A and B are shown apart, each in its own frame.
Chain A
Amino acid sequence: MKIVVSDVSKDFKSSVNVLNNISFSVVEGEFLSILGPSGCGKTTLLRILVGLLPPTSGKVEKDGIDITNASPSERGMGIVFQNYALFENMTALENVAYALKQHKDAKATAVETAFEMLKVVGLENEKDKRPGKLSGGQQQRVAIARTMAMHPDVILFDEPMSALDVDTRLSLRAELKQLQTRFGTTMIYITHDQEEAFALSDRIMVMDKGVIQQLDTPGNIIDHPANEYVDKFVKQNIQIKIDSLLPFSRKTV
């Protein structure tokens, strides 16, 4: 499975060049992070990939088939949002089973499959709780389980951990990586958090002002930034973190 994005651009009535001739490809089982500041066009790109938004121009292909105009449900992709988008009136189990029940072939085994997926994300004991009774991290796990239950080829994550506390982020980050290794699902992950992107990704795409600034491995982005923007965006932020921690480490020494 391979996704190829060719010359995708997007203009809105209120703003033009939100995306400007974006081209890249993602290979099967890859974990690609799209990193950039707010308003750089990363969420627009994600919505085009999953089919929630049509591009103004350009093409999206999956396994050599043009899916630019295919509906989201035909693309074999799933999406996990920052705000979980869970069905508040349903329990965790019902949330996962609901989508399965809408499909004839999965209907009969929907509840069992849903329960298995909850087990995978460690929430089998919370299956009867509604989202309101779950913590932020647990809700995001339910959202991941719901998406994975449909066995998509690709899962897209739209800043899924932005609303979570540091501890939950760290544990969810590790779980996500485990899931990807276990199921071999291709994952495209949007974030503005460098630490997250560097910890999770096989490759990172740094974006700014609707343009790809660099697409490379985390190591190469640190060692060989493509331009001044990438250098500043990545290194300066890391330096700020180091600088802010240094005084504390000296005190403890």
Chain B
Amino acid sequence: MRKGRHLSRSLTMVLIAFFLLVVLLPLGKMMLFLLTTDVGKITSSDRFLTGLRNSLTATLVATLLSVSLAMVLAWFLERSAITHKGLWSTIFLVPMLIPSISHGTGLVILFGRNGLLTNLLHLQGSIYGFWGIVLGSVLYSFPVAFLMISDILRFEDYTPYEAASVLGIPQIKQTLAIFIPYIRKPMIAVVFAVFTQVITDYGVPLMVGGQYTTLPVIMYQDVIGMLEFGKGSVIGLVLLVPAVLAFIVDSLNRDRASSSFTPRPFVKKEGKGTLLMARAICVLSALFILLPIIAFVVLSFAKKYPVNMSFTLQNIERAFSMNAGKNLVNSLVIAVIVSCIGTCMAFVSAYLTVRLKTPATRILHLFSIVTLAIPGIVLGLSFVLFFKGTFLMGTLTILILVNFMHFFASPYLMMYNTLGKINPNLEDVGQTLGISRLAIIVDVIIPQSKSTLIEMGTYFFVNSMMTISAVSFLATSRTQPLALMIPMFEAQMLLECTGVVSLMILMINLGVKGLVAMTKKQLEKR
């Protein structure tokens, strides 16, 4: 028993040291950079102020639209008797499988100067700028809001509504007195999550922003193009603010209710009008979500967009002749390693924090979730500043490390919740029966967490395949991941090739998701 306690204490300390080295010290280095930077000059410059204003305006509008759309769709799927709910949910979550920049590509192909729909419908105006960013950001951020709101609605209890109906309270009053108070707190978390996601993204604004520059784009251009790390650090710090706020709000709102509570399900609305409206909104939203994706699929096989749209495989050949194959291998290596090591480490961390509550494990918990508050672009910059000149720079290892840290918190929380629901006395019983802690973990806890472990691995894999923000400052031509070829091809005006890359990422992620869904079904059958 004592040996086991020593081992877990040592493991906790090693993990804390690891997080210190890989997250807090790089962030600290970035902060230190501010001491040697003329912060006042940067923050009072026109470029910065315009970027800040643009970022805030576009993000506010995108967040409002994204959350509203997600709310409407989640409500219809959770509360109405609409059929094929699984199919609709799958469609609405597809945007999560491609980089944000790909949504921008899709919009350019549809609504750009010579866009397919621009020409077809003789549309006036330009997608480049404010509305391009807003539309792209809605596409990119909406699935997260949809997932969160669906969960909130799914776990709402119907009992208070039944009681209110028996008492003759009208529906509008029920909404004001029951629904609004119930949804208020979690919705704040949703709004913060979406706001943070949009304001820190540079994929969409890079593609469709045009002259409407946002802070992440300025940061990207200044660091990549001019190696202005000081300016990058200042913007990084500004971008940390909403993320840290979101983190605090989320931590305060985290559900502390008993996990064993089973809500009484709602009676699904079956009225003709409701169903008709539900179907219409689902179809329209699916079109809005799928059209940009279909657009880059079409683009991948078009001879020369927009002049010659006949079918060709030349774009694939061209992309591969420009190292898409090698970069695909890089991406797969990164994603597989991040997925395997990340899942193991997130499991170990969650096990220590849930099953061995000590002051040290409480610190480990805080360190494990702190990356939720660090945008990928900021993490990437802090890595550059901290690891510059070390043997890690220019290697796949640093890309693995940055992806691992960037995506660690969510899978960790998945396992944290799962382990919290597993009987807390298993190890105690094991001790009295002479079963080692390791045996209980291997034979009892891991089999009971299989489904979550698979989800964690998938999360690490899918996100590592498509991220560009965390890796853009760290990749070299030798270690470049596939997703980074999208801005590269875009800069070279090879839009067809950006389509090919986006399509490759989508297909791989869809394949992995499909495989996981089948595996989980098999596991459930058992």
Smallest CB-CB separation from A79: which chain B residue?
B432
The answer to whether A206 has its CB under 8 Å from any CB of chain B is: no
Q: How far is the CB of B350 from chain A (nearest CB, A)?
A: 18
| Per-position binary interface string of chain B over residues 424-447, scored 1 when its CB falls under 8 Å from any chain A CB and 0 otherwise | 111011011111100100011001
Q: How far is the CB of B223 from chain A (nearest CB, A)?
A: 47
Taking CB atoms, residues of chain A closer than 8 Å to B423 are 83-86, 88
Cross-chain contact A78 with B444 (CB below 8 angstroms): no
Taking CB atoms, residues of chain A closer than 8 Å to B434 are 73, 99, 102-103, 150
Within 8 A of B (CB), among A97-152: 98-99, 102-103, 146-147, 150, 152
Taking CB atoms, residues of chain B closer than 8 Å to A89 are 444, 447-448
Smallest CB-CB separation from B434: which chain A residue?
A73
Within 8 A of B (CB), among A146-175: 146-147, 150, 152
For the complex with contacts A73-B432, A87-B444, A89-B444, 7 further pairs of A-B residues with Cβ separation under 8 Å are A51-B1, A52-B431, A52-B432, A73-B434, A85-B426, A146-B429, A146-B433
Cross-chain contact A102 with B433 (CB below 8 angstroms): yes
Taking CB atoms, residues of chain B closer than 8 Å to A90 are 444
Q: How far is the CB of B2 from chain A (nearest CB, A)?
A: 8
| Per-position binary interface string of chain B over residues 400-440, scored 1 when its CB falls under 8 Å from any chain A CB and 0 otherwise | 00000000000000000000001111101101111110010
Given the contacts A87-B443, A88-B448, A89-B447, A81 and B425 also touching, CB distance less than 8 Å: yes
From A47, A52, A73, contact of B433 by CB (8 A): A73
Given the contacts A85-B426, A102-B439, A78 and B447 also touching, CB distance less than 8 Å: no
Given the contacts A72-B1, A102-B439, A87 and B426 also touching, CB distance less than 8 Å: yes
Taking CB atoms, residues of chain A closer than 8 Å to B443 are 87, 98
Within 8 A of A (CB), among B53-85: none
Taking CB atoms, residues of chain B closer than 8 Å to A147 are 432-433
Secondary structure at the B interface, as helix, strand, loop or mixed, is: helix
From B429, B435, B447, B448, contact of A79 by CB (8 A): B429
Q: How far is the CB of B197 from chain A (nearest CB, A)?
A: 36
A146 to B444, CA, bound (A): 15
Q: Which of B422, B429, B448 has the most CB of A within 10 A?
A: B429
Taking CB atoms, residues of chain B closer than 8 Å to A50 are 432
| Per-position binary interface string of chain B over residues 189-203, scored 1 when its CB falls under 8 Å from any chain A CB and 0 otherwise | 000000000000000
From B2, B422, B431, B444, contact of A73 by CB (8 A): B431
A128 to B425, CA, bound (A): 23
Taking CB atoms, residues of chain A closer than 8 Å to B432 are 50-52, 72-73, 75, 77-79, 147, 152
Cross-chain contact B429 with A81 (CB below 8 angstroms): yes
Smallest CB-CB separation from B2: which chain A residue?
A71
A79 to B436, CA, bound (A): 16
A-B contact pairs, 24 of them (CB 8 A): A47-B428, A50-B432, A51-B1, A52-B432, A71-B1, A72-B431, A73-B433, A77-B432, A79-B428, A81-B428, A83-B424, A85-B428, A87-B426, A87-B443, A88-B423, A88-B444, A89-B444, A89-B447, A99-B434, A102-B435, A102-B436, A103-B434, A146-B433, A150-B434
Q: Which of B428, B431, B433 has the most CB of A within 10 A?
A: B433
A8 to B435, CA, bound (A): 27
Q: How far is the CB of B453 from chain A (nearest CB, A)?
A: 13
Taking CB atoms, residues of chain A closer than 8 Å to B1 are 51, 71-72
Taking CB atoms, residues of chain A closer than 8 Å to B436 are 102
Cross-chain contact B431 with A51 (CB below 8 angstroms): yes
Taking CB atoms, residues of chain A closer than 8 Å to B448 are 88-89
Q: Which of B1, B425, B432 has the most CB of A within 10 A?
A: B432
Secondary structure at the A interface, as helix, strand, loop or mixed, is: loop
Q: How far is the CB of A233 from chain B (nearest CB, A)?
A: 28
A84 to B425, CA, bound (A): 8
Query: What is the size, in residues, of chain A's interface with B at 8 Å between Cβ atoms?
Result: 28
Given the contacts A72-B1, A89-B448, A78 and B433 also touching, CB distance less than 8 Å: yes
Given the contacts A71-B1, A72-B1, A102-B439, A85 and B425 also touching, CB distance less than 8 Å: yes
Smallest CB-CB separation from A102: which chain B residue?
B435
Counting from the closest, the 5 A-B pairs by CB-CB distance are: A99-B433, A73-B434, A85-B425, A89-B447, A72-B431
Taking CB atoms, residues of chain B closer than 8 Å to A77 are 432
Smallest CB-CB separation from A86: which chain B residue?
B423
Taking CB atoms, residues of chain A closer than 8 Å to B429 are 79, 81, 85, 146
Taking CB atoms, residues of chain B closer than 8 Å to A81 are 425, 428-429
A232 to B301, CA, bound (A): 86
Taking CB atoms, residues of chain B closer than 8 Å to A152 are 432
| Per-position binary interface string of chain A over residues 218-234, scored 1 when its CB falls under 8 Å from any chain B CB and 0 otherwise | 00000000000000000
Q: How far is the CB of A136 from chain B (nearest CB, A)?
A: 13
Cross-chain contact B435 with A99 (CB below 8 angstroms): yes
Smallest CB-CB separation from B428: which chain A residue?
A52
Q: How far is the CB of B15 from chain A (nearest CB, A)?
A: 23
Q: How far is the CB of A129 from chain B (nearest CB, A)?
A: 14
Taking CB atoms, residues of chain B closer than 8 Å to A85 are 423, 425-426, 428-429
A146 to B432, CA, bound (A): 11
A146 to B426, CA, bound (A): 13
Smallest CB-CB separation from A84: which chain B residue?
B423
Within 8 A of B (CB), among A202-248: none
Cross-chain contact B426 with A98 (CB below 8 angstroms): no
A71 to B2, CA, bound (A): 8
A52 to B425, CA, bound (A): 11
A84 to B436, CA, bound (A): 19
Smallest CB-CB separation from B449: which chain A residue?
A89
Taking CB atoms, residues of chain B closer than 8 Å to A73 are 431-434
A125 to B162, CA, bound (A): 42
From B424, B425, B428, B431, contact of A71 by CB (8 A): B431
A16 to B422, CA, bound (A): 30
Taking CB atoms, residues of chain A closer than 8 Å to B424 are 83
Q: How far is the CB of B400 from chain A (nearest CB, A)?
A: 32
Q: How far is the CB of A11 from chain B (nearest CB, A)?
A: 17
Q: Which of A50, A88, A103 has the most CB of B within 10 A?
A: A88
A160 to B2, CA, bound (A): 28
Given the contacts A81-B425, A85-B423, A87-B444, A150 and B433 also touching, CB distance less than 8 Å: yes
A248 to B424, CA, bound (A): 42
Q: How far is the CB of A13 from chain B (nearest CB, A)?
A: 9
Taking CB atoms, residues of chain B closer than 8 Å to A87 are 426, 443-444
A97 to B246, CA, bound (A): 49
Q: How far is the CB of A91 from chain B (nearest CB, A)?
A: 12
Q: How far is the CB of B125 from chain A (nearest CB, A)?
A: 59
Smallest CB-CB separation from B426: which chain A residue?
A85
A79 to B432, CA, bound (A): 7
A52 to B431, CA, bound (A): 8
From A51, A75, A98, contact of B435 by CB (8 A): A98
A71 to B443, CA, bound (A): 22
